[in-house]
Chains A and B, each alone.
Chain A
Amino acid sequence: MNIRQYILILLFLLPLTIFAQGVKVSATASKTEVGTGEVFEVTFSVNGNVDRFSPPDFSGFQIVGGPNQSSSMESINGNTTMSTSFSYELMPTKEGDFTIGPATLGINGSKVVTNPIKIKVVKGKPVPKANSAQQGQQRQQSPNDVPEGNAADMAKYIFIRASVDKDNVYQGQQLTLTYKVYFRVGILQNQVTKLPDLTGFWNEDVKLPSQQQQQKPRIEVVKGERYNVADLKQIILFPEHAGNITVDPFEMNFIAQIPAPGRDLMQQFFGGGYQNVKYVAKSLPLVVHVRPLPEAGKPASFTGAVGKFDVEASIDKTELKANEALNYKVKVTGSGNIKLLKNLSTNFPADFEKYDPKITDTVTELVSGVSGSRFYNYLMIPRHQGDFTIDPLKFSYFNPATGRYVSLTTKGFKIKVNKGVNESNVTAFSGADKQDIKLLDKDIHYIKTGDAGLSKQGESFYGSTAFIISLLVGPFLALIAFIFRNKNRKYNADVVRVRSRRAGKIAAKRLADAQKQLRAGNANTFYEAIFKGLYGYLGDKLNISAADLNREVIASALAAKSVDEKVIDQLTDTLDLCEMARYAPVTHISEKEVFEKAKGVINDIEDEI
């Protein structure tokens, strides 16, 4: 391969040298070391018009093809150069070192000789029989046995052309890449040797509707030549990133039947013979310019859809029981990178149990692009009763035709979930595991019976007036008791007053005692009790000690207290009477009268003081 390229370069350079040096001839071989049975090419070229050409002796080689004469003429800035070349396809038959002798060319009347070429023949494949090599029509030939065609020549017969329908696209925008083979010779066999790996693209092969129909070649005219054209492959490409992306060449092996000069007169007469040659055809690399998607106006819901789409959502039921399955379907139809669509940004109720969508594609790949629909089937299981809303789904895509983003919104759905048969305890709230309460009892505790202890609603005893009053009752009582005790204590603290206060009581006691004696009939003790009672009473009342107690003192004390004279007289009378009665019987007055008198006196004094 390399050598061939060098030769080609050499050949291209040749005219320059000729222009510089006048006539220049050269003999070149495509290989200087060949194996037996391998075909190589020897070219004799000259810049100028060749009158005559006599080939050298090709002893030790079998002529497989040629001589192929080609001539070219070019005129640059008025300098016209011509070049002619003769090439032979040779195949060595024996091993060893050979020299291809000089060829003689007649140019402008003069004879020019080419340089000899040394060829080293090494052991190679077995030499095919001469006749089979010449019987080009044999189809059973294995490709290896077929000589390789001259690249430059073969390119005129067969070439592969890669083309794209657009070479300036947006990222993600689909474009169609077509490989076509152009040929104007018979093709016996073809074999794809290298498929482009299309790095940087997501690709989809176009499924040709009918393989047979497509294979029927069309006719196209290229550079004045009529070619049969057949589509090799059509691929829809989706650029994955922005920038210039190169499409690799497509390589194919052909065994072609090319016209060859007849080997004998008869063949030449009938238009020459045919020769089977092997040829590797390659397409030229292509560059696709990919533009990034514009950032301006990019919707939040955009996930990379490029093309033209429509979206539709549906739901299989709007009312169901908890724990039943619910299907939410989203259908995206259109053309574009439909298979590259990412998962939709759905907005389901947080409480639903959701599963990843089942994605079904019904997509057709045509030359015009990939189109079809994609179904997203979301399965959801509501676990709890309630009214839920599936919010409208937002879907947006980039339309490369208009260069704008388009946002679509589906319908929203209201879903009513009724109480299910068996609501499980699904933790929708993310938290740690609920701690297990170890319960030995299997049931709730029984109701409270007996007194309900009912109270008015909204009334709390605590803080109520009743509560405060009840609370204060004790301290209040204690306070009253305290005040009472203190008063009492103060009252009792004055001995004189207490004595005088108690005088009446003691007197009454004495009188009661006296009455008892009266009933018993003891006159003596009766009078004594009356006497003591009166004396004691007066002593207490007037605060006079018993030793100082006599009638005069009493009378003066009573007078000092401004007691009525009559009362004092009555008192002294009674006292005299009692004193007298103790020693002598009293007849003028009954005991009962004395008692009443004493009582009256005490009462009178009590009233006065």
Chain B
Amino acid sequence: MKFNRIIYLLLAIALPLVSFAKSDTQALFEKGNTAYAKAQYKQALADYQQILNAGYQSAALYFNMGNASYKDGEFTTAIWYYEKARKLSPGDEDINFNIRFANLKTTDKVDEPQEFFLTKWWRGFILSASLNALSITSILLVLFGSVLLIIYFFSHLVGLKKASFYIAIVLFVCGVFTIFIAAMQQSYFDSNKQAIIFTGTVNIKSGPAEQTATLFVLHDGTKVNILDTNNGWIKIKLANGNQGWLKKVDVKTI
């Protein structure tokens, strides 16, 4: 939590473009939070929505919108918002917890196959921090490394020279690794396009046409991976490996 705040603070510093009109949206955000605290979930959602309409987003905003939708009884929408929040801040424990919680309200129970522990661990690692946090961290690491390098260049003390040189090398390696992790995360989200089903009941077809056989039935709130799109239909894959086609209008991409 504290770490996040620091990151957000750093973000605010690093992105001067954000600062303009930010105070307005922050006010809206706090207004929404107040409405939420008073259990006026619809009002809270409306306030949050205004921020979205203004063209701003954040993990915290989506998370709060998910919460408000959940409390409003719209579990599918809640899951969608949570998933959007997770995409911006994959390692956030609050978001992951609420996703699990909201998923208890959905109809379909899709069991995920056991993954090889290294794969799971690796994915957890690359998703442990948000893309922005990783970006800021890499910048800071490189910056500090550079400073130490400059110290190394101009220092006349042998001890300081040695120490600054090695620390600078370590910081540069860490910085490059952080950028690598960020790139991995980016490509993970690019290649794993997901969507949430919004239609109450969807017949999953064997092909992108209405006449094809119905393979199975899914219900709202289920998360699907998008494999392909074709003429208003999308090919989906479930966590358990089942594949099929459904109409684009039945889902909302995360």
Least Cβ–Cβ distance between A429 and chain B, in angstroms: 5
A455 contacts across to B, CB distance below 8 A: 11, 15, 18, 56-58, 132
Contact of B33 with A447 in the complex, beta carbons under 8 Å: yes
B33 contacts across to A, CB distance below 8 A: 447, 449
Q: Quick one: which of A350, A434, A454 contacts B29, CB cutoff 8 A?
A: A454
Q: Which has the most chain B C-beta neighbours within 10 Å: A384, A423, A447, A478? A: A447
**Number of residue pairs spanning A and B whose beta carbons lie under 8 angstroms apart:** 195
Judge if B203 is at the interface, Cβ distance under 8 Å. yes
Q: Given the complex of chains A and B, what is the CA–CA distance between A447 and B143 in angstroms?
A: 34
Contact of B5 with A451 in the complex, beta carbons under 8 Å: yes
Say what secondary structure dominates the interface of chain B. Answer: helix
Judge if A316 is at the interface, Cβ distance under 8 Å. no
Q: Which of A447-495 contact B (CB under 8 A)?
A: 447-457, 460-463, 466-467, 470-471, 473-478, 481-482, 485
Judge if B216 is at the interface, Cβ distance under 8 Å. yes
B214 contacts across to A, CB distance below 8 A: 350
Least Cβ–Cβ distance between A148 and chain B, in angstroms: 71
Judge if B125 is at the interface, Cβ distance under 8 Å. no
Q: Which of A373-390 contact B (CB under 8 A)?
A: 384-386, 388
B14 contacts across to A, CB distance below 8 A: 461, 466, 470
Least Cβ–Cβ distance between B169 and chain A, in angstroms: 12
Q: Given the complex of chains A and B, what is the CA–CA distance between A448 and B67 in angstroms?
A: 10
Judge if B150 is at the interface, Cβ distance under 8 Å. yes
Contact of B101 with A435 in the complex, beta carbons under 8 Å: no
Residue of B nearest to A433 (CB): B109
Q: Given the complex of chains A and B, what is the CA–CA distance between A452 and B64 in angstroms?
A: 10
Q: Given the complex of chains A and B, what is the CA–CA distance between A454 and B64 in angstroms?
A: 13
Q: Given the complex of chains A and B, what is the CA–CA distance between A481 and B146 in angstroms?
A: 10
Q: Given the complex of chains A and B, what is the CA–CA distance between A473 and B150 in angstroms?
A: 13
Known contacts A431-B109, A454-B25, A462-B131, A448 near B15 by CB under 8 Å: no
Residue of B nearest to A322 (CB): B200
Judge if B227 is at the interface, Cβ distance under 8 Å. no
Residue of A nearest to B179 (CB): A471
Judge if A310 is at the interface, Cβ distance under 8 Å. no
Contact of A457 with B64 in the complex, beta carbons under 8 Å: no
Q: Which of B65-86 contact A (CB under 8 A)?
A: 67-68, 70-71
Least Cβ–Cβ distance between A579 and chain B, in angstroms: 41
Judge if B252 is at the interface, Cβ distance under 8 Å. no
Least Cβ–Cβ distance between B1 and chain A, in angstroms: 9
- Contact-residue bracket for chain A: 35 or more
Contact of B154 with A481 in the complex, beta carbons under 8 Å: yes
A222 contacts across to B, CB distance below 8 A: none
Known contacts A385-B200, A457-B55, A461-B132, A477 near B146 by CB under 8 Å: yes
Q: Given the complex of chains A and B, what is the CA–CA distance between A444 and B98 in angstroms?
A: 5
Q: Given the complex of chains A and B, what is the CA–CA distance between A444 and B82 in angstroms?
A: 11
Contact of A453 with B8 in the complex, beta carbons under 8 Å: yes
Judge if A430 is at the interface, Cβ distance under 8 Å. yes
Residue of B nearest to A484 (CB): B153
Judge if B231 is at the interface, Cβ distance under 8 Å. no
Contact of B201 with A386 in the complex, beta carbons under 8 Å: yes
Judge if B139 is at the interface, Cβ distance under 8 Å. yes
Q: Given the complex of chains A and B, what is the CA–CA distance between A446 and B36 in angstroms?
A: 10
A463 contacts across to B, CB distance below 8 A: 186
Contact of A454 with B104 in the complex, beta carbons under 8 Å: no
A351 contacts across to B, CB distance below 8 A: 201, 203, 217, 219
A453 contacts across to B, CB distance below 8 A: 4, 7-8, 11-12, 58-60
B55 contacts across to A, CB distance below 8 A: 456-457
Say what secondary structure dominates the interface of chain A. Answer: loop
Q: Which of B207-227 contact A (CB under 8 A)?
A: 214, 216-219
Q: Quick one: which of B61, B67, B109 contacts A434, CB cutoff 8 A?
A: B109
Per-residue contact bits, chain B 131-144, to A (CB 8 Å; 1 contact, 0 not): 11011101100111
Q: Quick one: which of B7, B56, B97 contacts A454, CB cutoff 8 A?
A: B56
Q: Quick one: which of B71, B109, B143, B203 contacts A427, CB cutoff 8 A?
A: B109
Contact of A462 with B132 in the complex, beta carbons under 8 Å: yes
Q: Which of A414-447 contact B (CB under 8 A)?
A: 417, 419, 423, 425-435, 437, 439, 441, 443-447
Q: Quick one: which of A388, A448, A461, A478 contacts B146, CB cutoff 8 A?
A: A478
Per-residue contact bits, chain A 323-356, to B (CB 8 Å; 1 contact, 0 not): 0000000000000000000000000011100000
Contact of A452 with B107 in the complex, beta carbons under 8 Å: no
Judge if B163 is at the interface, Cβ distance under 8 Å. no
Judge if B115 is at the interface, Cβ distance under 8 Å. no
Contact of A456 with B146 in the complex, beta carbons under 8 Å: no
Q: Quick one: which of A385, A432, A454 contacts B22, CB cutoff 8 A?
A: A454
Judge if B63 is at the interface, Cβ distance under 8 Å. yes
Contact of B111 with A452 in the complex, beta carbons under 8 Å: no
Contact of B201 with A388 in the complex, beta carbons under 8 Å: yes
A388 contacts across to B, CB distance below 8 A: 201
B153 contacts across to A, CB distance below 8 A: 478, 481-482, 485
Known contacts A444-B70, A453-B11, A462 near B134 by CB under 8 Å: yes
Contact of A429 with B108 in the complex, beta carbons under 8 Å: yes
Least Cβ–Cβ distance between A583 and chain B, in angstroms: 46
A433 contacts across to B, CB distance below 8 A: 109, 111
B219 contacts across to A, CB distance below 8 A: 351, 384, 428-429
A and B contact pairs by CB, cutoff 8 A, 23 listed: A350-B214, A384-B201, A426-B107, A429-B219, A433-B111, A437-B104, A444-B70, A444-B97, A444-B98, A447-B67, A450-B60, A451-B12, A454-B51, A454-B56, A454-B57, A456-B55, A460-B131, A462-B131, A470-B14, A471-B139, A477-B150, A478-B146, A481-B149
Apart from A448-B63, A461-B14, 20 more pairs, CB < 8 Å: A350-B216, A351-B203, A384-B107, A386-B199, A431-B108, A434-B111, A435-B111, A441-B97, A447-B63, A452-B60, A453-B12, A455-B132, A456-B18, A460-B186, A473-B146, A474-B142, A474-B147, A477-B150, A478-B145, A481-B154
